[in-house]
Amino acid sequence: QQFYESTGKSAATKLRNHADDLIWERYLGRPGMRSQEDLETIYANVGRKLLLPLTFEVSWLKASTKVSALSYRYPKNNQVKVHGLLANGNVPECVIEYELLYWLLTTSGISNWKQIQAIVHERGLIDICVAAGSWKSSKWQKFRKINHPLYNG
């Protein structure tokens, strides 16, 4: 009995994950969304501004409704995944830039906040950080609830 229950749950979970992926693909394919290529271009530009090599792969995260962070690092795969909602053209580009800026610096061995702040100031990127922080603190949670495709799929 237990075997069949666990197998059934596993199959049901796989089916749900597949359905969620399809919903995300439809969402990311809508007009006005940033593409994977757009994300990679933003990443390259951030690397250029920081004078750092690109040290990881980037992609859109097809996040569950429980995921509230704007990005995650997956060291085993050498990836950073940016929450798929940030592909929405209504999200300021600086929010994505900040997420990638943070991960580029920390994966380059710069994890002390004082060092990060010094580099951000030195490279003239403070406005990006301030604007991104403002959007994240004032708009992100409401934006996530209103726009998440798994809430509204």
Q: Is the pLDDT of residue 10 over 50?
A: yes
What integer pLDDT is reported at residue 4 of this predicted model?
A: 43
For residue range 103-148, list pLDDT tens digits in order: 999 999 998 999 999 999 999 999 999 999 999 999 999 999 999 9
Cα–Cα distance measured from residue 114 to residue 51, given in angstroms and rounded to the nearest whole number: 18
Bridge-based pairing of strands 71-74 and 79-83 is antiparallel
Which residues face 71 on adjacent strands?
82
- Provide the residue type at 71 as one letter: S
CB 95 within 8 A of CB 86: yes
pTM of the model: 0.88
For residue range 44-103, list pLDDT tens digits in order: 999 999 999 999 999 999 999 999 999 999 999 999 999 999 999 999 999 999 999 999
Q: Is the pLDDT of residue 9 over 80?
A: no
- Provide the residue type at 88 as one letter: N
Higher-confidence position of 12 and 65: 65
Q: Residue 74's CB: how many other CB atoms inside 10 A?
A: 13
Show the beta-strand stretches assigned E in 20-137. Answer: 57-61, 71-74, 79-83
